[in-house]
Amino acid sequence: KVNRAYNFNAGPSALPLPVLELAQQELIDFRATGMSVMELSHRSAAYEDVHNEAISNLRDLLSIPENYEVLFVQGGGSLQFSMIPMNFLQAGQKAGYIMTGAWAEKAFEESKLFGDVYEVASTKAGNYRSVPSIDELKYNATDAYVHLTSNNTIFGTQWKQFPNTGDVPLIADMSSDILSKPIDVSNFAMIYAGAQKNLGPSGVTVVIIRKDLLEKANKNIPTMLKYGIHAKNNSLYNTPPTFGIYLLGEVLKWAKGLGGIHALEKQNEAKAKLIYDAIDQSNGFYAGHAEPASRSLMNITFTLKDEAAEKRFLAEAKQAGFVGLNGHRSVGGCRASTYNAVPYETCKALSDFMVQFQKVNG
């Protein structure tokens, strides 16, 4: 039996074992090419198949409409924080940011370098325990765009419903919950996500962008930072991260094999429930950070009564084979990231461990 950790890392994070096994099997001689995917030319037919298959499988899984482009770019979610205002924030216009956590703050700070931006709403006063209610959002009909973070990786909150911003382009950072549940892509002008949580390894960033937005984009920016260039060249303007895109493609095939987006959602709900139940049935021994209505199904954040108890919990969890349960350094406490590839059994093992730890220490 292979040695696989109970991996709750926040990203990079667990990948599906069958995908890793396939990659291992194909590593030396990929589809009878006599070389690995890493050694193929990105202009070869063998690579183009990998590339186009990944795009088409993502289109299927997320039901992406025809009038959207699917791009693979580099620079992580973080470069998107700069590319979005560079491309879409025009002089005389404003852009609104919905502040729901540390990543939203980073996106907002970066956008200030490029133009006139403001906060549409913020839940910072409540230590980002929730996302704002949709009716609270006040933005201008003339805004270049409104930006939100669909899942807040560090605080463990997630939007359950998205605002409909009408003619104002809505741009969403879905780095930590893309492909975890069905979404209505047509509600967004653009969606972006670093691959390293639900989609594959780090090094690839997926951008789903409505075509009309590309036409309106600013022209005076570096070539590599123009969405239009990547769209026009099918994300092959320069050398893409070929191995990452290959693995991402295999993750998508795996997701399809499980039954697609609805099956993933059901599995994610069941996994998160195991851990939230351990919290909710603990009589306060464990306290969830997020308000129940805003709870994330991807990042489950909780605390124990004091730092000493948390330290003991984390030390014993580590001893028992659990990895990645420390809360983010800016928040403390504990966090279990239960992305698509984290098996149900792994979540069951954690919830059993939590119950057992409470029995001994409660």
Give the footprint of ligand PMP on this chain (CB under 6 A).
11, 76-78, 103, 149, 153, 173, 175-176, 194
277 assigned binding-site residue: no
165/175 with CB nearer ligand PMP: 175
79/304 with CB nearer ligand PMP: 79
Q: Tokens 């001893």 map to which residue?
A: 319
Question: Taking a C-beta distance cutoff of 8 angstroms, is the pair 362, 221 a contact?
Answer: no
159/322 with CB nearer ligand PMP: 159
Amino acid at 64: I
In whole angstroms, give the CA distance from residue 84 to residue 78. Answer: 10
Q: Which segments of 195-243 are extended strands (E)?
A: 205-210
Question: Taking a C-beta distance cutoff of 8 angstroms, is the pair 37, 243 a contact?
Answer: yes
11/285 with CB nearer ligand PMP: 11
103 assigned binding-site residue: yes
Angle of helix 242-258 versus helix 17-26 axis, rounded to 10? 130
43 assigned binding-site residue: yes
153 assigned binding-site residue: yes
**Catalytic annotation, pick one of 143, 159, 181, 197:** 197
Question: Taking a C-beta distance cutoff of 8 angstroms, is the pair 234, 210 a contact?
Answer: no
253 a catalytic residue: no
- In angstroms, give the least distance from the CB of 78 to ligand PMP: 3
338 assigned binding-site residue: no
- Altogether, the residues listed in the chain come to a count of 362
90 assigned binding-site residue: no
In whole angstroms, give the CA distance from residue 265 to residue 344. Answer: 12
103 a catalytic residue: yes
- In angstroms, give the least distance from the CB of 277 to ligand PMP: 25
256 a catalytic residue: no
- In angstroms, give the least distance from the CB of 358 to ligand PMP: 29
Question: Taking a C-beta distance cutoff of 8 angstroms, is the pair 347, 275 a contact?
Answer: yes
Task: Indicate the DSSP class of residue 357.
Answer: H
- β-bridge mates for residue 326, sequence order: 334
120/298 with CB nearer ligand PMP: 298
Q: Which of 180, 147, 125 is nearest to 299 (CA)?
A: 180
Helix (H) or strand (E) holding 265: helix 261-280
**Catalytic annotation, pick one of 103, 159, 181, 271:** 103
Cβ-proximal residue to ligand PMP, closest one: 76
100/267 with CB nearer ligand PMP: 100
Q: Which of 164, 182, 191, 156 is nearest to 293 (CA)?
A: 156
In whole angstroms, give the CA distance from residue 251 to residue 84. Answer: 27
- In angstroms, give the least distance from the CB of 175 to ligand PMP: 4
**Catalytic annotation, pick one of 173, 177, 181, 226:** 173
196 assigned binding-site residue: yes
- In angstroms, give the least distance from the CB of 9 to ligand PMP: 11
- In angstroms, give the least distance from the CB of 137 to ligand PMP: 19
State the binding site for pyridoxal 5'-phosphate.
77-78, 103, 153, 173, 196, 238-239
Residues flagged as binding site for L-glutamate: 43
Catalytic (active-site) positions: 103, 173, 197
The annotated binding site is made up of 43, 77-78, 103, 153, 173, 196, 238-239
